[in-house]
């Protein structure tokens, strides 16, 4: 039967037989992303953080001294880094009048044998003593500085900036314990001071955690910190809104926050209502953060 194809003449060139296999673009991209994720996972580290305003170790309205109970509650969370506000350094009057009042500063009493590293930033000083912010850490604190961000009047506020050396990381993790003012005009200025600190004192590639009592009941901090410091809040990112923490028994106002920068993952940790509801006027917040 005659062929419909025209036969090649002996003088016609013959194309070489070459087999080329090209992966579809989407498959190649998926492979690259998988390899990158594996590499990142091998280098990442996850830490648990806790923040709580401990109200100088007293219950709401200063009815009862409960620092011993508070220490046990903090321990049960198993946090690697703890951010504390309204921590008493010394108070001569309470030492002589309150039963079981620790002989050591409250941040040392709370750290005890669980957190070998701690830093304290004294904010308010008065006749009988002083109080401020503190950070307790299972990781070495290689440097810390307490930045005075008080605006005017008797209200004293500070930003306690700690540089942490976390095993498995080439860059340091920066932890900033925050306690902002009650007046909105003061808070806005203090938020901009926090943004300046992050920009000027911390490398752009370094992980940052800023946690504490922001007193931001009008929710202005989210936009300021996102725009000015590329930081976002853990609970807002997960739930669409900040967690309500004040007053602790029946939380209505979202005063306490955990903001992060350069984290590859993070998620809120749910804490039980009890015993926290009677340990302070603020409910605590906790989160797992991956860098």
Mean of pLDDT over the chain: 88
**pLDDT for the residue 153:** 84
Question: Does residue 169 carry a pLDDT above 90?
Answer: no
Share of the chain above pLDDT 90, in %: 68
Task: Please tell me the distance from the alpha carbon of residue 288 to that of residue 275, in angstroms, as a whole number.
Answer: 21
Confidence of residue 114 (pLDDT cuts 50, 70, 90): very high
Nearest alpha-carbon partner for 276 in 252, 236, 247: 247
DSSP label of 78: T
Where helices occur in the chain by DSSP H, the ranges are 25-43, 67-77, 92-97, 106-111, 184-201, 221-229, 234-239
Strands 208-213 and 173-179: parallel
Per-residue pLDDT tens digits for 188-232: 999 999 999 999 999 999 999 999 999 999 999 999 999 999 999
Q: Is 80 exceeded by the pLDDT of residue 24?
A: no
Would you place residue 93 in the very low, low, confident or very high pLDDT band (cuts 50, 70, 90)?
confident
Backbone angle region of 59, left / alpha / beta, with phi > 0 → left and psi within -120 to 50 → alpha: beta
Average pLDDT over residues 152-162: 93
Position with higher pLDDT, 85 vs 14: 85
Query: What distances in angstroms separate CA 123 from CA 88, 180, 188, 228, 237, one per listed residue?
Result: 10, 11, 19, 25, 31
For residue 275, whether the previous peptide bond is cis, meaning omega lies within 30 degrees of 0, is yes
Q: What is the pLDDT of residues 60-83, one digit of tens each?
A: 766 789 999 999 999 999 999 999
- Give residue 126's pLDDT band: very low, low, confident or very high (50, 70, 90): confident
Q: pLDDT value at position 97?
A: 85
Instruction: Write down the residue that tokens 């604190």 correspond to.
Output: 141
The tokens describing 132, both together, are 């401020």
**Structure confidence at residue 11 as a pLDDT band (50, 70, 90):** very low
Tell which wins on pLDDT, 5 or 204. Answer: 204
Give 212's strand partners. 178, 257
pLDDT tens digit sequence for 30-66: 666 655 554 544 568 999 999 999 998 887 766 789 9
* Predicted local confidence at residue 32, as pLDDT: 66
221 touches 254 (CB < 8 A): no
Burial class of 111 by CB neighbour count within 10 A (0 to 12, 13 to 18, 19+): buried
CA atoms of 169 and 94, how far apart (whole Å): 42
């Amino acid at each position: 039967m005659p062929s419909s194809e025209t036969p090649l003449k002996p003088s016609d060139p013959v194309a070489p037989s070459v087999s080329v296999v090209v992966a579809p673009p989407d498959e190649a991209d998926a492979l690259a992303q998988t390899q990158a994720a594996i590499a990142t996972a091998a280098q990442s580290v996850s830490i648990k953080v806790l923040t709580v305003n401990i109200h100088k170790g007293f219950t709401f309205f200063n009815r009862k001294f409960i620092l011993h109970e508070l220490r046990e509650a903090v321990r049960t969370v198993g946090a690697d880094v703890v951010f504390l506000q309204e921590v008493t350094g010394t108070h001569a009057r309470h030492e002589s009048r309150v039963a079981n009042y620790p002989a050591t500063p409250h941040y040392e009493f709370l750290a005890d044998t669980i957190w070998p590293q701690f830093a304290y930033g004294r904010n308010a000083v008065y006749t009988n003593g002083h109080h401020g912010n503190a950070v307790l850490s299972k990781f070495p604190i290689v440097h810390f500085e307490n930045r005075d961000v008080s605006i005017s009047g008797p209200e004293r506020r500070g930003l306690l900036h700690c540089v942490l050396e976390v095993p498995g990381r080439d860059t340091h993790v920066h932890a900033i314990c925050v306690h902002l003012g009650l007046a909105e005009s003061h808070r806005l200025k203090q938020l901009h001071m926090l943004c300046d600190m992050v920009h000027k004192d911390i490398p752009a590639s370094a992980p940052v955690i800023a946690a504490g009592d922001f007193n931001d009941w009008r929710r202005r901090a989210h936009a300021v910190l996102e725009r000015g410091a590329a930081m976002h809040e853990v609970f807002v990112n997960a739930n669409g809104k900040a967690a309500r923490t004040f007053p602790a028994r029946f939380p209505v106002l979202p005063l306490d926050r955990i903001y992060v920068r350069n984290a590859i993952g993070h998620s809120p940790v749910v804490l039980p209502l009890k015993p926290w509801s009677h340990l302070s006027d603020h409910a605590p917040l906790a989160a797992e953060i991956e860098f």
